[in-house]
Amino acid sequence: MTDRDMETDHLPENTGGAGHGAVTTVAEDPFQDPGLPAHRPRVTDLDPRAAKRAERQVALLFMIAVVGVIGSMVCYTFVPNTKVHRFTGLGTVNMNNLALGLCLGFAFLALGCGAIHWARTLMTDVDLVQERHPMKSDPESTAFAVSEFKQGVADSGFTKYPLIRRSLLTAMMVLPLPAVWLLRDLGPMPKDALRHTLWAPGMKLVNPNTGQPLRVSDVTVGTLALANPANLNDDPDERIDNLAKAAVLVVRLPQEALKGSEAQKKKQWDWSVDGVMAFSKICTHVGCPVALYEQQTHHMLCPCHQSTFDLSDDGKVIFGPAARSLPQLPITVDADGNLVAVSDFREPVGPSFWERG
């Protein structure tokens, strides 16, 4: 739409309005701009002693800054970094940090306050008026610039040789592609990595702190145990990446606590050892480890976004933004009575992704 199509009558300048723009209607207009008020002198403008006092105040502030800066270096050197002290309201404080912060903080504050005090008391406070000019170029500059540009374009032959023009534009269009293409080696293709964890048939569940295999007797109703796959430390380079997918939590539920359809209850019980069952610790929302276990209700809460899973109902989401149940890891016992995995998880753990399906 061009300016010509638009109604401009509604713009205040054209409606007459209160007519402030037109200062020419003098005495007629009680709302007119009375102009800049007369300057009111400050005490320091009138009284030389006040000005002298202000000078001393500014100088004092600047000297405080000097003291603070030197003090900070003294503190850096002599206040031990290891000394801590407990202050009410501040908690335990590193004394070196406190001393440095106070010295430099007050030094900067004094320097700043000195400069501002100087400006406010002793520098001019008489308002100056400068004109504004429209940002738009004047017609002469516009005409000159346009003709210069046209001359430049004409000299280049950019419009005269379409083949050059088009091939150049094509070249410019393909030019940015390598900026993306050459980044290919940033990472490997995901393939099916998100679908697999370290869990495999017969893999022992071990206590993350002691490294000891977990046994059925270690888990009673109401306790929450954590477990890692026994081979987690085999590849130190990949340990954390593997842990991010394989971490499980182990709880024990009485059979009568299970909810849901018969098929679901049967599955959940079959994948457990006498009610000792393992669930993925990785939230199906965005991947935080779920951590808060409510023993009575068997609810598992993720502290990040409060997704709540009911472990007695096959890990179903009962509140919060997570969409999918916590995956259960099928487990059994080996000949020595240690808990071991029956297989890997039967579905991908952790956050959803496009290819998950």
Give residues 118-147 in contact with other proteins (rule: CB under 8 A): 118-120, 123-125, 127-132, 134-135
Residue 49 Cβ, how far from other proteins at the closest point, in Å?
22
The residue range among 143-151, 214-222, 244-252, 267-275 that interacts with other proteins, by the rule CB under 8 A, is 244-252
Tokens of 51: 């000005």
Residue 298's alpha-carbon distances to 215, 248, 258, 316, in angstroms, are 21, 16, 10, 11
Contact between 307 and 301 under an 8 Å Cβ cutoff? The reply is yes
Residue 72 Cβ, how far from other proteins at the closest point, in Å?
9
Helix H or strand E encompassing 147: helix 139-156
Could you give the CA distance from residue 4 to residue 211 in angstroms, rounded to a whole number?
81
Residue 322 Cβ, how far from other proteins at the closest point, in Å?
6
Residues 175-214 that bind other proteins (CB under 8 A): 183, 186-190, 193-194, 208
The residue range among 149-157, 260-268, 280-288, 338-346 that interacts with other proteins, by the rule CB under 8 A, is 280-288
DSSP string, 162-184: HHHHHHHHHHHHHTTHHHHHTTG
91 beta partners: 87
> Site for other proteins (CB under 8 A): which residue of 314, 324, 338, 340?
324
Residues 90-119 that bind other proteins (CB under 8 A): 90-91, 93-94, 96-102, 104-119
The string over 245-267, giving b where at least 16 C-beta atoms fall within 10 Å of a residue's C-beta and e elsewhere, is: bbbbbbbbbeeeebeeeeeebeb
Angle between helices 95-121 and 48-78 (to 10 degrees): 160
> Site for other proteins (CB under 8 A): which residue of 241, 270, 294, 334?
241
Q: Is 69 in the site for other proteins (CB under 8 A)?
A: no
Residue 296 Cβ, how far from other proteins at the closest point, in Å?
16
Residue 96 Cβ, how far from other proteins at the closest point, in Å?
6
Residues 9-38 that bind other proteins (CB under 8 A): 9-13, 15, 17-20, 28-37
Could you give the CA distance from residue 86 to residue 22 in angstroms, rounded to a whole number?
68
Q: Which is nearer to other proteins, 1 or 335 (CB)?
A: 1
Residue 142 Cβ, how far from other proteins at the closest point, in Å?
16
Contact between 93 and 10 under an 8 Å Cβ cutoff? The reply is no
Residues 281-320 that bind other proteins (CB under 8 A): 281-282, 285-289, 291-292, 303-307, 317, 319-320
